[in-house]
Chain A
Amino acid sequence: MSSRQASLPSLSLENVAVIRGNRLVLCDLTVTARAGDIIWIRGANGCGKSTLLRLVAGLLTVTSGAVKAEGRIALADESLALDANVTLEHALQFWADMDGASASERSAALADMDLQGVAKIPVRFLSTGQRKRASIARVLASKADIWLLDEPYNGLDSASCARLDQAITSRAASGGIILVAAHQPPSINVAHSLVLDNQGVAA
């Protein structure tokens, strides 16, 4: 693990094709990313943005092609993955322990997403926007090299969007790779924007 952390994170997809449920979702896709890159993945509904993120996360297997990811990966998608009946703090600490992050790093992640006020509240009482911020805080606390954010701006108010932008830019500046799947253009400078058309081909 230490040797992986020491080397710079990198990500490469070569001629990747994915078939999900008898449908060709991604086809002949090639992406490379180096440390510090922010990639905006966009395209119409159902064009394969989430599939691409799940693929990079290793949750799906490619039908053909190759995916290589160097570095630890964190994913924030529509599933919160936080236990509903415990406090937000406690739920985040579970994953922080899994990732070897300390309690202070977890608190810093909560503060970065302006969630200290609800840290002692059970997760089931959080609002939509607070849930979204909580899942981003989980990514922040994970100290991962590669962030996969699926529609991270959904449900966020403008102040929270700015906090997220800030978190993304600072992680990229410290050598991380961030893949953002979003409909709205992010307000930050992105290294590349990857447009997927309806056949899952990079347009």
Chain B
Amino acid sequence: MKSFIALVTREVRLAWTGGGLWLPIVFYLAVATLFPFVTGPDKALLARTGGGILWIAALLATLLPIERLILPDRQSGVLDQLALRGWSDELVATAKIAGQIVAFGLPLILATVVGSALIGLPEAQLGTLLLGLALALPALSGLSVMIAALTAGLSGASALGGLLLVPLTIPLLIFGAGTLAEDPRNAMQLLAATSLAITALSPFAAGAALRAGRI
């Protein structure tokens, strides 16, 4: 357990020292800033569609760290050294997902607060949006680690990562956007269930990809 925490801590440190702390926030804020340029300064329209735009921004921001999640550790031999010490690939993937929830989730929540203020989202919706994103975060982290493991070392990995991520996040996006409707309760439950299923499955998929990539 101590080693597991050490590995999670390392993930967070690597993410935040490698630009991972600011990059998603800047990306997120860029989307929130650009959106009103497209729609015009129509306050009612922004309030109505802003939540959905922030959801899309969150899903796309998931792609940003993919290249540095698995590949550097494979190249530097860290994954080999962990396997040598009896770590199962699934456990390594779980630690990476847990690290990603912290390293990516905290900045994302912060950026959402700022971004929603920029778009002028009603305060009542901000709470729903934050809760929805917090529910989806484990799934987004699981997907990013899984896709990073699948595409590590392939040429054009980031483009491929985008192609893989988009269909897999559709259920999250549907229910996530659904929570922004009048009564968020049903959509919130479905979002939680989807997120749970994806989060539970992703360490196994990522672990299998890590194993297959060891040559």
Residues of chain A whose beta carbon lies under 8 Å from any beta carbon of chain B? 20-21, 54, 57-60, 73-75, 77-86, 94-95, 97-99
Counting from the closest, the 10 A-B pairs by CB-CB distance are: A79-B77, A81-B77, A81-B81, A81-B78, A98-B3, A57-B84, A97-B6, A81-B76, A75-B84, A59-B80
Q: Are B84 and A97 in contact (CB under 8 A)?
A: no
Report B-chain residues with C-beta under 8 Å of the C-beta of A75: 80-81, 84
Report A-chain residues with C-beta under 8 Å of the C-beta of B18: 85
Q: Is the interface of A mostly helix, strand, loop or mixed?
A: loop
Whole-angstrom distance between the alpha carbons of A95 and B10 in the complex? 11
Q: Are B77 and A80 in contact (CB under 8 A)?
A: yes
Report if A85-B17 is in contact (Cβ < 8 Å); known contacts: A58-B84, A97-B2, A99-B85: yes
Whole-angstrom distance between the alpha carbons of A192 and B201 in the complex? 48
Contact of B77 among A21, A60, A77, A98 (CB under 8 A): A77
- 5 additional A-B pairs beyond A60-B215, A79-B76, beta carbons within 8 Å, are A20-B215, A54-B80, A58-B84, A81-B76, A98-B82
Q: B83 at the A/B interface (Cβ < 8 Å)? A: yes
Q: How far is the CB of B128 from chain A (nearest CB, A)?
A: 39
Report B-chain residues with C-beta under 8 Å of the C-beta of A82: 76
Whole-angstrom distance between the alpha carbons of A58 and B82 in the complex? 11
Report A-chain residues with C-beta under 8 Å of the C-beta of B80: 54, 57, 59, 75, 77, 79, 81
Report A-chain residues with C-beta under 8 Å of the C-beta of B13: 86
Report A-chain residues with C-beta under 8 Å of the C-beta of B77: 77-81
Q: Is the interface of B mostly helix, strand, loop or mixed?
A: helix
Q: Are B3 and A97 in contact (CB under 8 A)?
A: yes
30 example contacts (A-B, Cβ-Cβ < 8 A) are as follows A20-B215, A21-B215, A57-B84, A58-B83, A59-B83, A59-B214, A60-B214, A60-B215, A74-B84, A75-B80, A75-B81, A75-B84, A77-B77, A77-B80, A78-B77, A79-B75, A79-B80, A80-B76, A81-B76, A81-B77, A81-B80, A81-B81, A83-B10, A86-B13, A94-B6, A94-B10, A95-B81, A98-B82, A98-B85, A99-B85
What is the chain B residue whose CB lies nearest that of A82? B76
Q: How far is the CB of A25 from chain B (nearest CB, A)?
A: 11
Report B-chain residues with C-beta under 8 Å of the C-beta of A20: 215
Report B-chain residues with C-beta under 8 Å of the C-beta of A85: 17-18
Q: B165 at the A/B interface (Cβ < 8 Å)? A: no
Report A-chain residues with C-beta under 8 Å of the C-beta of B75: 79
Q: How far is the CB of A26 from chain B (nearest CB, A)?
A: 15
Q: Are A83 and B84 in contact (CB under 8 A)?
A: no
Whole-angstrom distance between the alpha carbons of A73 and B86 in the complex? 10
Whole-angstrom distance between the alpha carbons of A85 and B85 in the complex? 23
Q: Are B6 and A83 in contact (CB under 8 A)?
A: no
Report A-chain residues with C-beta under 8 Å of the C-beta of B84: 57-59, 73-75
Q: B14 at the A/B interface (Cβ < 8 Å)? A: yes
What is the chain A residue whose CB lies nearest that of B78? A81
Report A-chain residues with C-beta under 8 Å of the C-beta of B2: 97
Q: How far is the CB of A70 from chain B (nearest CB, A)?
A: 14
Whole-angstrom distance between the alpha carbons of A20 and B3 in the complex? 32
What is the chain A residue whose CB lies nearest that of B2? A97
Q: Are A83 and B14 in contact (CB under 8 A)?
A: yes
Report B-chain residues with C-beta under 8 Å of the C-beta of A77: 77, 80
Whole-angstrom distance between the alpha carbons of A98 and B95 in the complex? 14
What is the chain B residue whose CB lies nearest that of A79? B77
Whole-angstrom distance between the alpha carbons of A84 and B77 in the complex? 12
Q: How far is the CB of A130 from chain B (nearest CB, A)?
A: 16
Whole-angstrom distance between the alpha carbons of A80 and B2 in the complex? 23
Report A-chain residues with C-beta under 8 Å of the C-beta of B85: 98-99
- 0 or 1 for each of B60-84: is its CB under 8 Å from A? (1 = yes): 0000000000000001111011111
Q: How far is the CB of B210 from chain A (nearest CB, A)?
A: 12
Whole-angstrom distance between the alpha carbons of A75 and B13 in the complex? 25
What is the chain B residue whose CB lies nearest that of A72? B85
What is the chain B residue whose CB lies nearest that of A21? B215
